[in-house]
Structure 1
């Protein structure tokens, strides 16, 4: 009887443990300030804490970096070494925000090199299709088309963040996605970016959201990285569900 009970309890414990396990997706962002502004990597992790799939992010960034600098290891960047020496499921590449408009050939050349390199490491290449600057919304089509063309040629997946931004601006211009410089994201903009990546990677979005997101420093102290209203959250959710498939 005791032996049977022990086996049952062991089976029950293993079953409960397995049920409570979550899938994890390890993601590396190769980019610039459009990644590290407002702690995008940490926000993605925090938002997916409530989901069946947890996204764990790492980043290789420096302000204003382009893919050529990443590829050639300039400005202290070690993106290729990080890809080669780590195990990622997805590597996201993002060029300088102006390169799809001003230096498209460079985007295509180094983007193709990175996509091939990422695939050779066993990861999947994703492209971070960024947004038009606040004063030049008409350039969004150029940016989106450049990344979509690269994705088609390189066998990569596009995350259409810029299209999410364009729709958000069209639906409600009072929802301010921009930092005061008219280029970088506000906290709300970063939240929209995070949801775009989460939807593209997992195929879904969380059912519940916090309005305050805190993170822990190395000493275990919490600090706030974002605070949103329910209206802002639901607005972003609706936009992403419409754009990201």
Structure 2
């Protein structure tokens, strides 16, 4: 009889436990610089998750112009390594300075490995966020893509191909302005990056992501993160939707 009661208790509570486990939000930390935070890209990804009903929290550790070396050695006020220890992260996205692969490839490799090691030690999975070429020099992209992919392979992880898709969008739609200046993304560019990150992080479809993404400030007032013309949004969503991602973290 005692064993029967224990069995019944487990039978009743197990579904509740599984539901609670499933509802636990995935915790994501984005480490980088203005290439990550421009036009509130991390907040856009949070808004996409909320719109989709997917339990995910995206946080950031970003400093304008920061390199992985500065994040690792806690320079310029970086608190990345402290943040890694602050909570149990699921995934940490690492984005280096836009010129590191070209002007400092040794530093890129050394501190990419060190940061990824710190992420693993903290119990999270590291992923690399591939950057994109400058408006003035699209030939940069081959070097950037090769270095990110090679490092990801060495780390036994993956590089989310933001740069490759960004450049593809630029080639397919030269009428659209994906740049704010020579290197930073425009609001359209950041919306595209947000779509790429959300699709890569979750494996979920982005075809129904709205053109207008919303959030709230500390007072509960509505904040509009993006205004995208519907035709432009349709193109960007289709482009990302038709991209095959291997970083479908939702399946892990």
* TM-score, normalised relative to structure 1: 0.88
Residue 146 (structure 1) aligned with residue 136 (structure 2) = no
1:7: which partner in 2? none
CA offset digits 1:16-39 (Å, max 9, x no partner)? x949x7462211011001111111
1:61: which partner in 2? 62
Contact 1:50-1:208 within 8 A present in 2 as well: no
CA offset digits 1:37-58 (Å, max 9, x no partner)? 1111110011122325333111
Aligned residue runs from structure 1 range 26-45, under 5 A: 26-45=27-46
Contact 2:199-2:206 within 8 A present in 1 as well: no
Instruction: Quote the offset at 1:154 in angstroms.
Output: 1.1
Instruction: Quote the offset at 1:226 in angstroms.
Output: 0.9
Alpha carbons of 1:244 and 1:186: their partners in 2 closer, same or farther (altered >3 Å)? farther
SS of equivalent residue, structure 2 residue 218: coil
CA offset digits 1:97-120 (Å, max 9, x no partner)? 110111111110000111111111
CA-atom RMSD in angstroms: 1.9
1:3: which partner in 2? none
- CA distance in 2 between partners of 1:80 and 1:94 (Å): 15
SS of equivalent residue, structure 1 residue 137: coil
SS of equivalent residue, structure 2 residue 76: helix
CA offset digits 1:158-215 (Å, max 9, x no partner)? 1100001111011111121110x22111111111111111111111223422222222
5+ long unaligned stretches in structure 2:
1-11, 246-252
SS of equivalent residue, structure 1 residue 223: strand
2:224: which partner in 1? 224
- CA distance in 1 between partners of 2:175 and 2:23 (Å): 38
Aligned residues: 230
Residue 199 (structure 1) aligned with residue 188 (structure 2) = no
Contact 1:28-1:60 within 8 A present in 2 as well: yes
CA offset digits 1:143-162 (Å, max 9, x no partner)? 01000010011122211000
* TM-score, normalised relative to structure 2: 0.85
69-78 vs 49-58, greater mean Cα deviation? 49-58
SS of equivalent residue, structure 2 residue 139: helix
- CA distance in 2 between partners of 1:238 and 1:101 (Å): 31
Residue 93 (structure 1) aligned with residue 94 (structure 2) = yes
- CA distance in 1 between partners of 2:109 and 2:96 (Å): 10
- CA distance in 2 between partners of 1:136 and 1:207 (Å): 31
5+ long unaligned stretches in structure 1:
1-10
